[in-house]
Amino acid sequence: MKARLAKLLSPIFGRKTPEGRDLDGVMERAWNAPDYVEQLGKLKVPTMLTDEERRMLVYLAEHTVPEGTAICDLGPFLGGSTFCLGTGLKRAGRSNPIHSYDLFELSPNGADWFKETFIYPFGFERFDGMEFVHVFDAINAVHGDLVSRYTGDVQRHSWTHGDIGLLFVDLSKDWPINDHVVREFFPAVRPGAFVVQQDILYPQTPWLFSTMYLLREKMPIVSYCEYHSAVFQCVGRIGPEDVERCLRANVSKELLLTAIDHFEGVFPYRLQKDYIRLMRTLVEGNPIDLPFWDYRIPPAYHVPLSL
Ligand X SMILES: C[S@@+](CC[C@H](N)C(=O)[O-])C[C@H]1O[C@@H](n2cnc3c(N)ncnc32)[C@H](O)[C@@H]1O
Q: Work out whether 64 is an interface residue with ligand X (CB under 6 A).
A: no
Quick check: 81 binds ligand X (CB under 6 A)? yes
Q: Does 20 bind ligand X (CB under 6 A)?
A: no
Euclidean distance between CA atoms 18 and 42, whole angstroms: 31
How many helices and strands, by DSSP H and E, does the chain display? Answer: 12, 7
List, in sequence order, every beta strand (DSSP E) within the chain.
70-74, 98-102, 147-151, 164-169, 189-197, 221-224, 230-233
The nearer residue to ligand X, 12 or 65, going by C-beta atoms, is 65
Question: Minimum Å distance from CB 200 to ligand X?
Answer: 13
Shortest spacing between CB 159 and ligand X, in angstroms: 14
| Residue 294 C-beta: closest distance to ligand X, Å | 14
Closest separation between CB of residue 77 and ligand X, Å? 3
Rank residues 62 and 102 by Cβ distance to ligand X and give the closer one.
102
Asked if 27 and 50 touch (Cβ cutoff 8 Å), the reply is no
Report how far apart, in Å, the C-alpha atoms of 126 and of each of 61, 106, 113, 116, 140 are: 33, 14, 13, 9, 19
Q: Is 253 in the site for ligand X (CB under 6 A)?
A: no
Smallest gap from Cβ 236 to ligand X, in A, equals 27
Min dist CB 177 to ligand X, Å, is: 5
11 binds ligand X (CB under 6 A): no
Q: Which of residues 148-177 bind ligand X (CB under 6 A)?
A: 153-155, 170-171, 173, 177
Q: What end-to-end distance do the CA atoms of the chain give, in Å?
A: 33
Residue 69 engages ligand X in binding (rule: CB under 6 A): no
Contact flag: residue 88 with ligand X (CB under 6 A): no
Q: Alpha-carbon distance 184 to 157, whole Å? A: 9
Compute how many other C-beta atoms are within 10 angstroms of the C-beta atom of residue 127.
Answer: 13
**With binding defined as CB under 6 A, does residue 178 bind ligand X?**
no
Closest CA to 70 of 190, 212, 218, 235: 190
Q: Which is closer to ligand X, CB of 142 or CB of 235?
A: 142
Sheet holding 98-102, edge to edge: 147-151, 98-102, 70-74, 164-169, 189-197, 230-233, 221-224
- For ligand X, give the closer residue by CB, 58 or 171: 171
Touching ligand X, residues 24-63 (CB under 6 A): 47-49
79 backbone φψ class: left, alpha, beta (φ>0; ψ -120 to 50)? left
Residue placing its CB nearer to ligand X in the complex, 25 or 80: 80
86: contact with ligand X by CB under 6 A: no
Q: Are 193 and 64 in contact (CB under 8 A)?
A: yes
Give the residues lining the site for ligand X (CB under 6 A). 47-49, 75-77, 80-81, 101-103, 153-155, 170-171, 173, 177
